[in-house]
Amino acid sequence: MVDRNKLVNENFVKFVDNNNLPQTHLHLTPADVGLTASEVIDIFESQVMSRHLDLQSRVMQKKGQSFYTIGSAGHEGNAAYAKAFRPTDMAFLHYRSGAFVIQRSKQVEGQTPLYDMLLSFAAAKDDPISGGRHKVLGSKRLSIPPQTSTIASHLPKAVGAAYSIPLAQRLQIPAEMPEDSVVLCNFGDASSNHSTAQGAFNSAAWVAFQSIPLPIVFICEDNGIGISTSTPQGWIAANYQNKAGLNYIYCDGLNILDTYQKAKQAEHLARTLKKPVFLHVRTVRVLGHAGSDAEFVYRSIAEIEANEQQDPLLHTARILLENNIMTEPQIIALYQGVATRIAAIANQAASKAKLTTAADVAASLIPPVRINQYQQLVTDAQRQQLFAHETHNLAKNQHLAKLLNWALMDLMAEHNNIVMCGEDIGKKGGVYNVTSKLFDRFGQNRVINTLLDEQTILGGAIGFAHNGFLPIPEIQFLAYVHNAEDQIRGEAATLSFFSNGQYTNPMVIRIAGLGYQKGFGGHFHNDNSFAVFRDIPGIIIACPSNGADAVEMMRTSVKLAQQQQRIVVFLEPIALYMTKDLHQEGDGLWTSNYVTPASADNTINQQISVYGEGCDVCIISYGNGYYLARQAEKLLAAQDINCRVIDLRWLAPLDEAAIVAQVNQCKKILIVDECRKTGSISEALVTLIHEQANNSNGASKIARVVGDDCFIPLGSAAYEVLPSTSDIVKAAQQLMSEQKV
Q: Are 186 and 222 in contact (CB under 8 A)?
A: no
Res 333: pLDDT: 98
What is the band of 295 on the pLDDT scale with cuts at 50, 70, 90? confident
Res 522: pLDDT: 64
What is the band of 41 on the pLDDT scale with cuts at 50, 70, 90? very high
**Can you give the three-state secondary structure of 450-514, one letter per residue?**
CCCCHHHHHHHHHHHHHCCCEEEEEECCHHHHHHCHHHHHHHHCCHHHHCCCCCCCCEEEEEEEC
Handedness of CA 300, 302, 307, 308 (dihedral sign): positive
Mapping DSSP to helix (H, G, I), strand (E, B) and coil, where does residue 558 land?
Answer: helix
pLDDT by residue (tens digit) across 633-674?
Answer: 999 999 999 999 999 999 999 999 999 999 999 999 999 999
pLDDT by residue (tens digit) across 419-447?
Answer: 999 999 999 999 999 999 999 999 999 99
pLDDT by residue (tens digit) across 80-120?
Answer: 999 999 999 999 999 999 999 999 999 999 999 999 999 99
Res 376: pLDDT: 83
Q: Are 53 and 45 in contact (CB under 8 A)?
A: no
What does residue 730 show for φ and ψ, rounded to 5 degrees?
-60, -40
pLDDT by residue (tens digit) across 570-623?
Answer: 999 999 999 999 999 999 999 999 999 999 998 999 999 999 999 999 999 999
Res 741: pLDDT: 46
Does 374 have pLDDT greater than 80? Answer: no
Res 716: pLDDT: 85
- Annotate 671-730 with DSSP letters as a single string: EEEEEESSSSHHHHHHHHHHHHS-GGGS--EEEEEEE-SS---SGGGGGGSS--HHHHHH
The side-by-side arrangement of strands in the sheet containing 277-282 is 91-92, 183-188, 216-222, 277-282, 247-252
Nearest to 618 by CA among 515, 732, 727: 732
Distances (CA, A) of 421 to 56, 401, 439, 453, 687: 45, 18, 11, 11, 38
Peptide bond between residue 723 and the one before it cis (omega within 30 degrees of 0) = no
What is the band of 700 on the pLDDT scale with cuts at 50, 70, 90? low
Res 714: pLDDT: 84
Domains of the chain in sequence order: 13-353 (3.40.50.970), 380-599 (3.40.50.970), 609-740 (3.40.50.920)
Global pTM value: 0.95
Q: Are 558 and 565 in contact (CB under 8 A)?
A: no
Instruction: Tell me how many degrees the CA angle 575-581-584 measures, rounded to the nearest 5.
Output: 125
In the chain, the N- to C-terminal Cα span, in Å, equals 76
Query: Alpha-carbon distance 735 to 699, whole Å?
Result: 11
Does 140 have pLDDT greater than 90? Answer: yes
Res 698: pLDDT: 46
**Average pLDDT for 27-35:** 96
Query: Alpha-carbon distance 291 to 293, whole Å?
Result: 6
Nearest to 650 by CA among 685, 606, 601, 605: 606
pLDDT, mean over the chain: 94
Nearest to 725 by CA among 609, 624, 653, 648: 624
Query: Alpha-carbon distance 378 to 551, whole Å?
Result: 18
pLDDT by residue (tens digit) across 393-420?
Answer: 999 999 999 999 999 999 999 999 999 9
Res 602: pLDDT: 87
**Nearest-10 crossing angle of helices 454-466, 195-209:** 70
Res 345: pLDDT: 98
Mapping DSSP to helix (H, G, I), strand (E, B) and coil, where does residue 70 land?
Answer: coil
Res 373: pLDDT: 73
Mapping DSSP to helix (H, G, I), strand (E, B) and coil, where does residue 119 land?
Answer: helix
Res 400: pLDDT: 98
Res 740: pLDDT: 56
Query: Alpha-carbon distance 23 to 318, whole Å?
Result: 8
Q: Are 498 and 133 in contact (CB under 8 A)?
A: yes
Res 696: pLDDT: 52
Does 527 have pLDDT greater than 90? Answer: no
